[in-house]
Amino acid sequence: MSTRIHLPKLECNTVQKQEPYSSAMHQLAVQLSRAQSLKSMADSAATYCSRIFRNSAGMVFVRFDQGLQMVSQWRSGQMPKKNFTEEIIKKSPVSQALRTGEAVFLGQHRGSNSPASGPLGALLRKYQCQSVSFIPICGPGQKPAGVIVLVLRDTKELAPVVRDELRRLGQIVAGCIGRARAYDAALAARVHAENASRRKDEFISILSHELKNPMMPILGWAVALSSGTLPESKQNQAIDGIVRNVRVLNYLIEDLFDAARISSGKLRLQPADTRIQEVAREALTTIQHTAEAKKLRISTDISEAIPTFMADSRRLQQVLINLLNNAVKFTPEGGCINLKVRRRGDYAECIVSDTGKGIERKFLPFVFDRFRQEDRPSRITTGGGLGLGLGIVREIVALHDGSIKALSDGPGKGSTFILRLPLRRKSSKGAYAGTR
């Protein structure tokens, strides 16, 4: 014969008499079975706790690879600031409950287990509550997947029967958390696939545009030369235009090849004694015509006090050309570009700065990601490029055991790229391990 568990009558009257645990827990199980995502599952548990325990507050923490994260909370409008959550994780038994799989129940009284001080004490005083529970989200013999923190108004609410029901709550939530994680993972995978497909379509569109730009002048000048009607005074201009645009095409194709080499781990260096001053001057010569066409002022400060060092001069020239081209591309007509090459300790430092469009601060961490471009309203029509150059720059610099970083104060305030290359290799297997 089955028996029904009745809740004890509590003086604080926070447990709803009209809604026994058995009925409420059944409703929670139904809601959890309908919840798909981890957030909706945690919110269902939060709604249950808020309904059963009046004047309560709490949080639901879930374990992720990077640590505990709060995925739901109630009485959120009155919760302290975000640092409070971090303090709860560090200075409360949350980690203990997660590690041991055992619930922790604390009452507001004097003693070593009292939560009167620290973030818990502040929370209890804020809501005029007397107890707090840490319920691991796990089934019998399972590793906890998270912790439910429940703040209650009176210590009498932690009667043995209530503690048993709270443990049962953690078990019921644990039974659904795996399904919710799988749903979130599938949803994230779908979003990732959709974003990858969108980026691929954007890349193909930009690639078509970038290839077409130099192809059209080549075709136009070639037709004019072959017609025999082009005046002799224009023929040298036609040849220069063809050569210049073929070089642009070659750079684009080389970037595509380098991106493929990087993806397959086959990008190699050919180190030799290198004078960075000569590399910098050759890079400047390469972008000189484009800069003059935009009436850009280029200033240089190249120190002769930098000794030769082992590096791949062709790859370093590629790095500086990419940085200078980037500056030329995003600096409006009449702007300034500066190249500084100097020695700083055991490093050669190259600084490329401009007075151009600048970079959004939120985009700075992603500026060297391949196929990643800052959102601009009309980037396809303004020569936005393939989004490969800076990614290739980072890889080449890394192979040299160097570093590179981008700085900008925001849109319209220009940008600065700082490249540092070691003058001495760290070991015989340093940056050139596996070179040929």
Q: Which tokens in the block code for residue 201? A: 């379509």
Q: Are residues 31 and 176 in the same domain?
A: yes
**Residue 168 shares a structural domain with residue 281:** no
CATH number of the domain within which 325 lies: 3.30.565.10
pTM for the model stands at 0.56
User: 135: domain range?
Assistant: 21-188
Closest CA to 284 of 240, 245, 320: 320
Both tokens assigned to 213: 């730009």
Evaluate whether residue 199 is within a structural domain.
no
Please state, as a whole number, how many other Cβ atoms lie within 10 Å of the Cβ of residue 256: 13
Q: Which of 169, 188, 207 is the last residue of a domain?
A: 188
- Record the tokens describing residue 148, joined without a space: 């439910």
Q: What is the mean pLDDT of residues 332-340?
A: 94
Q: Is the pLDDT of residue 196 over 70?
A: yes
Task: Flag whether 227 is in a domain.
Answer: no
Average the pLDDT over each of 35-39, 45-49, 106-110 and give the range with the smallest value.
106-110
pLDDT tens by residue, 67-103: 888 888 777 555 555 556 676 777 678 888 888 888 8
pLDDT tens, residue by residue, 154-190: 666 667 777 888 888 888 888 888 888 888 889 989 9
Among 159, 188, 217, the domain boundary falls at 188
List strands edge to edge, sheet with 131-136: 67-74, 57-64, 146-152, 131-136, 104-107
Residues 31 and 159 in one domain: yes
pLDDT tens digits for 208-231?
888 888 899 999 999 999 998 888
CA 23 to chain centre: 44
Residue 430 domain-assigned (yes or no): no
Q: In the listed set 152, 169, 188, which residue is the last one of a domain according to the structure?
A: 188
Phi, psi at 52, each rounded to 5°: -75, -40
Is residue 11 in a domain?
no
- 338 vs 379, higher pLDDT: 338
Q: At what angle do helices 38-52 and 21-34 cross, to 10 degrees?
A: 160
Give percent of the chain with pLDDT exceeding 70: 78
Give the chain's domain count: 2
Q: Name which residue leads in pLDDT, 383 or 183.
A: 183
Cα–Cα distances in Å, from 264 out to 257, 259, 261, 369, 400? 11, 9, 5, 16, 18
